[in-house]
Amino acid sequence: MPAKLTYQSYGKSAVRLTKVKRLPDRHELIELEVSIELSGDFADSYLAGDNSKVIATDTMKNTVYALAAAHPIDSLEDFATALARHFMQAHAHVYTAIVRLAQTSWRRMSVDGREHPHSFFGAGAERRRVMLHVTRGKPYMWAGIEGLVLLKTTDSAFKGFLRDEYTTLADTDDRIFATRLSADWLYDKPVPDWNAAYHAVMDAMVRVFAQHRSLSVQQTLYAMGEAALEACPAILVIHLEMPNQHRIPVNLQPLGLENRNEIFVTTTEPYGLIKATLERESIE
């Protein structure tokens, strides 16, 4: 037998949940995609087909719905904590539980200038998300967002970059900057109001995006990460990814026209992909 099993995990992905909270004056709508991933004493199922310690992924799915019924889900962070705690407490042979939640964006309708009590629009493609990683030691609560589409039509330059034999791109002082932000930050401890912390971080990053006079995607990304760390002292680390969703100026000269930086091809691929992780400087 030439092999040893050096890593294993399993779980249920894409458990989709809608919860309606029927309050007296209005309904609240929560829509989540949940994934559960467990590591632990499961090697016998790999090595010998012995399933006696295997929590079926179907059971994980049932557990998500059962706990959703009992839990208020006032924040993703609290619900993730309840799910992870369940698997860790119910099953001593689970060593690590990773709970991922991603929340579909909905926006309450207004009718005649008033918020409607129970009708909603689908909002943007972005999803607030949480990844809670719990071991028998410390929990790691990562919160963040995926797929937030941001675009600014000016205040973005890219010039003075390295030129080699394969460089054809021209310097530019004024280009469109469009991206789909993904960002995840690690709390060093629980905060009193997870939702307030989330919004403080997001507002800080969006404000920087809008106002920054960008010399590169890299520079703007860094400034956004720095603003996030400033906005919420409980954040230890933040990781950002920003694909550069290029808008390419159309060459109208062969058509007898001038392009005054107005007409662009919207592209999806290829795309630049810029990533970084920022950590809070320790004070000492």
Which residues are known catalytic residues? Answer: 12, 57, 246
Which of 280, 270, 264 is closest to 156 using CA atoms? 264
Of residues 71-110, those binding a second copy (CB under 8 A): 90-91, 106, 109
Report the residue from 24, 25, 89, 111 that binds a second copy according to the rule CB under 8 A: 111
Q: CA-CA distance, 257 to 262, in Å (whole number)?
A: 12
Find the shortest distance in angstroms from Cβ 82 to a second copy. 14
Measuring CA to CA, which residue among 225, 235, 228 is closest to residue 276? Answer: 225
- In whole angstroms, the minimum distance from the beta carbon of 257 to a second copy comes to 5
Near a second copy in 24-53, by CB under 8 A: 27, 29, 31, 35, 37, 42, 45-53
Please say which residue, 38 or 191, places its beta carbon nearer to a second copy.
Answer: 38
Structure tokens that stand for 282 in this block: 């320790």
Rounded Cα distance between 31 and 17, Å, is 6
Report which DSSP code applies to 165: T
Q: Is residue 270 reached through a cis peptide bond, with omega within 30 degrees of 0 on the bond before it?
A: yes
Interface mask (CB under 8 A) for a second copy, residues 255-274, using x and -? Answer: xxxxxxxxxxxxxxxxxxxx
* Rg value, the chain, Cα: 23
The reply on whether position 124 binds a second copy by CB under 8 A is yes
Cis peptide, bond prior to residue 192, ω within 30 of zero:
no
136 binds a second copy (CB under 8 A): no
Q: Which stretch binds a second copy (CB under 8 A): 77-85, 117-125, 135-143, 186-194?
A: 117-125
Asked if 157 contacts 174 with a C-beta cutoff of 8 angstroms, the reply is: yes
172 binds a second copy (CB under 8 A): no
Contact flag: residue 9 with a second copy (CB under 8 A): yes
Contact between residue 103 and residue 77 where contact means Cβ atoms under 8 Å apart = no
Q: Which of 24, 137, 192, 281 binds a second copy (CB under 8 A)?
A: 281
Distance from C-alpha of 143 to C-alpha of 197, rounded to nearest angstrom: 10
Count of residues in contact with a second copy, rule CB under 8 A? 140
CA atoms of 46 and 42, how far apart (whole Å): 7
x-or-dash string of contact with a second copy, 205-244, rule CB under 8 A? -xx-xxx--xxxxxx-xx--xx--xx------x-x---xx
252 touches a second copy (CB under 8 A): yes
Stretch that binds a second copy, among 18-26, 75-83, 131-139, 193-201 (CB under 8 A): 18-26
113 near a second copy, judged by CB under 8 A: no
> Which two tokens mark 226?
């720095």
